[in-house]
């Protein structure tokens, strides 16, 4: 399924039905009086966060969502039928923005959360509604209220516990492929990753979700490269995993480039806990590892630097444990063992708090 995290939609609620002007005409009833019913309300347009979706690709092929109009009132005091609502089913983590792409109308972060996008118009009153002691034969009825038409933007920000950041070819996709069942594209050229990838990673009996985004370059916060389009996907992460290529000749510059982009982008990324890792140590000897670690420690003002090789699996468990320590227990999920999964066929689909 193709990944899409931004979509434009056009929604319109239904108009209310018109009220009816009608009078009783039964035989042998001398003074029948008014019996016009009210019009039905128009249908509304809702957005609801549902499970099982992680892309907005459905809204690439259908952008217009129009709710039904309410039915007009009828004689014999019959009210019109209410128009059916329309529900836009979106992934968890979807922001709904106004047409200016800046005003946030709603942020759906939990399954089942819903928001009203366009309220249906009220139905008009029939002439029965206007009957009084001094006006017993009213010949007026209200028209139905017009529906609401809006242009909206849907922007998806993935719900993940860990966000991977680093320059292109820092080894982010290799790490995700080595620690989860995700299969991101891995190659020896920049910008191999063109869209975010999610993977479920397990360590010490618990599981958490890791998001891999395209590599950042200098000026990413201004729109250079691919990073600006996907930095929003790590805004909700509890911790960031910063990978630095140990084989690079400019380790210090690489580190400072990423940190600067996080600060310039804002949205709280600079305040998130960060696990710093010198990656690709399988290509370094002992002297090279020590030199790379010293450079990162100096550039980061004494942060703990972990040594890891995603390709060789060296140091991966220690990094996962460091990430797990930064994630609140409420976000972690109990890992389902193979024995338990065999006893319960549906165990693979269960998340246990």
Full-model pTM: 0.75
Tens place of pLDDT for every residue, the chain, 353 residues? 567 888 999 999 999 999 999 998 888 777 788 999 999 999 999 999 998 888 898 998 999 999 999 999 999 999 999 999 999 999 999 999 999 988 999 999 999 999 999 999 999 999 999 999 999 889 999 999 999 999 999 998 887 889 888 888 888 888 888 888 767 656 554 555 566 778 888 888 888 888 887 767 665 545 555 555 677 778 888 899 999 998 888 899 989 988 888 888 877 888 889 999 999 999 889 999 999 999 999 999 889 999 999 888 899 999 999 999 998 877 777 765 544 444 544 444 444 43
Cα separation, 53 vs 176, whole angstroms: 20
- Report the binding-site residues for Mg(2+): 173, 193
**Residue ending a domain, choose from 141, 156, 171:** 156
Number of domains in the chain: 2
**Residue ending a domain, choose from 156, 187, 202:** 156
Tell whether 124 and 13 lie within a shared domain: yes
C-alpha 87, offset from chain centre: 16
Tell whether 142 and 184 lie within a shared domain: no
Q: Nearest 5 degrees, angle CA 196-CA 198-CA 199?
A: 150
> For residue 251, what is the domain's CATH number?
3.40.50.300
- Report the binding-site residues: 166-173, 191-195, 212-215, 279-282, 309-311
Q: Which residues lie closer than 8 Å to 142 by C-beta, 6 or more apart?
A: 18, 19, 39, 124, 125
| Torsion angle, alpha carbons of 167, 171, 177, 183, to 10 | 50
Q: Nearest 5 degrees, angle CA 118-CA 120-CA 122?
A: 145
Q: Give kind and range of the element (H or E) at residue 276.
A: strand 274-279
Tell whether 206 and 284 lie within a shared domain: yes
> For residue 150, what is the domain's CATH number?
2.70.210.12
The structure tokens 């942060």 sit at: 303
- Report the binding-site residues for GTP: 166-173, 191-195, 212-215, 279-282, 309-311
* 197 half-sphere exposure, CB direction, 13 A CA radius: 24
Q: Nearest 5 degrees, angle CA 313-CA 319-CA 323?
A: 140
Q: Which residues of 270-286 are buried (b: 16+ CB within 10 A; e: fewer)?
A: eebebbbbbbbbeebee
Range of the domain at 330: 162-349
């Amino acid at each position: 399924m193709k990944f899409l995290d931004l979509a434009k939609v056009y929604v319109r609620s239904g108009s209310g039905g018109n009220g009816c002007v009608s009078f009783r005409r039964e035989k042998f009833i001398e003074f029948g009086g008014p019996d016009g019913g009210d019009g039905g309300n128009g249908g509304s347009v809702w957005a609801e966060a549902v499970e099982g979706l992680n892309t907005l690709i459905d809204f690439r092929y259908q952008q217009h969502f129009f709710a039904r109009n309410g039915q007009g009132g009828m004689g014999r005091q019959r009210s019109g039928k209410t128009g059916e609502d329309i529900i836009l089913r979106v992934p968890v983590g979807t922001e709904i923005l106004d047409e200016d792409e800046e005003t946030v109308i709603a942020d759906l972060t939990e399954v089942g959360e819903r928001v009203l996008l366009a309220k249906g118009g009220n139905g008009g009153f029939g002439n029965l509604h206007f009957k009084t002691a001094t006006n017993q034969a009213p010949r007026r009825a209200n028209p139905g209220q017009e529906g609401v038409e809006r242009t909206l933007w849907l922007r998806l920000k993935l719900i993940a516990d860990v966000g991977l950041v680093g320059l292109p070819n820092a080894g982010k996709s290799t790490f995700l492929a080595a620690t989860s069942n995700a299969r991101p594209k891995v190659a020896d050229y920049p910008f191999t990753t063109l869209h975010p990838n999610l993977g479920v990673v397990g360590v010490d009996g618990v599981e958490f979700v890791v998001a891999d985004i395209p590599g950042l370059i200098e000026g990413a916060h201004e729109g250079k490269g691919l990073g600006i389009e996907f930095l929003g996907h790590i805004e909700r992460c509890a911790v960031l995993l910063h990978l630095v290529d140990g084989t690079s000749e400019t380790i210090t510059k690489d580190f400072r480039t990423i940190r600067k982009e996080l600060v310039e982008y804002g949205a709280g990324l600079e305040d998130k806990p960060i696990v710093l890792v010198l990656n690709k140590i399988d290509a370094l000897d002992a002297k090279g590892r020590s030199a790379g670690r010293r450079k990162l420690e100096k550039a980061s003002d004494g942060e703990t630097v972990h040594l890891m090789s995603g390709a060789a699996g060296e140091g991966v468990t220690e990094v996962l444990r460091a990430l797990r320590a930064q994630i609140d227990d409420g976000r972690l999920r109990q890992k389902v063992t193979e024995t338990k999964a065999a006893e319960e066929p549906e165990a693979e689909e269960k998340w246990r708090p």
